[in-house]
Amino acid sequence: MMNKSLIIVESPAKAKTINKYLGKEYEVHASVGHIKNLPKSDLGIDIESGYEPTFETISGKEDIINNLREVAGNSDKVYIATDPDREGEAIAADIAEEIRPKNKKIFRVLFHEITEHGVAEAMKQPQTINDDLVASQRARRVMDRMVGYMVSPFVWKTMYYGLSAGRVQSVALRLICEREKEIQEFLPTEYWSIIGEFRVSGCDPFFAKLFRIQGKELIVPSKDNLIEIQHKGTTDRYTYITSEEEAKKYIQEIGKQSFSIASVQKREVKRNPLPPFITSTLQQEASRKLRLSATKTMKLAQKLYEGVELGEMGLVGLITYMRTDSTRLSESAVAEVREYIYNNYGKEYLPKHPHLYKKKKTSQDAHEAIRPKSVKYRPRAIKKFLDKDLYRLYELIWNRFIASQMEAAVLEITSVVVEGGVFQFKATSSQYKFRGFLQVYDDLMNGDTDQVEEEDAEVKDEKLPSNLKAGQIASVLSIVPHQHETTPPPRYTESSLVKTLETLGIGRPSTYALIVGTIIDRKYVEQQERKLYALPLGIEVNKLLTSHFSHIFNVRFTAKMEEELDTVASGKNSYRKVLDDFFLPFHESLEKANKKASTIKKSLQEETDTLCELCGKPMIIKWGRNGKFMACNGYPTCKNTKPLPEDQEKVQHLAGVKCELCGGDMLVRSSRYGTFLGCSNYPKCNNTKPISMGIKCPKCKEGEIIERKTRRKRTFYGCSKYPSCDFASWDKPYNQPCETCGSPFMVMKYSEKRGEYLKCPSCKAEVQKVEVSSAI
Long-range contacts of 609-614 (CB under 8 A, 24+ apart): 610/645, 612/638, 612/640, 613/640, 614/638, 614/640
CA 65, 69, 70, 76 dihedral sign is positive
Strand order in the sheet with 755-759: 733-734, 746-751, 755-759, 766-768
The answer to whether residues 322 and 299 touch, using CB atoms and an 8 Å cutoff, is no
Q: What residue type is assigned to position 265 of the chain?
A: Q
Q: Is 251 helix (H, G, I), strand (E, B) or coil?
A: helix
The residues annotated as belonging to the active site are 321
* Cis amide linkage into residue 351, ω under 30° from 0: no
Intra-chain end-to-end CA distance of the chain, in Å:
71
Cα 557 to Cα 569: distance, rounded to the nearest angstrom: 19
Count the neighbouring beta carbons within 10 Å of the beta carbon of residue 368. Answer: 19
Report the C-alpha gap between 364 and 282 in whole angstroms.
Answer: 17
User: Any alpha helices (H) in 10-85, and if so which ranges?
Assistant: 12-21, 62-73
Q: Quick one: CA torsion of 374, 378, 383, 385, rounded to 10 degrees? A: -30
User: For residues 24 and 592, what is the distance between their CA atoms, to the nearest angstrom?
Assistant: 63
Cα–Cα distance, 112 to 569 (Å, whole number): 19
Nearest in space to 137 (alpha carbons), one of 127, 129, 128, 149 = 129
Bridge-partner residues for 208, per DSSP?
196
> Which residues, including other chains, have CB under 8 Å from residue 495's CB and lie 6 or more apart?
283, 284, 285, 287, 288, 448
| Alpha carbon distances (Å) from 152 to 149, 221, 544, 545, 583 | 6, 43, 11, 10, 16
Pick from 85, 54, 80: nearest CA to 68: 80
Q: Residue 659 in contact with residue 679, Cβ under 8 Å? A: yes
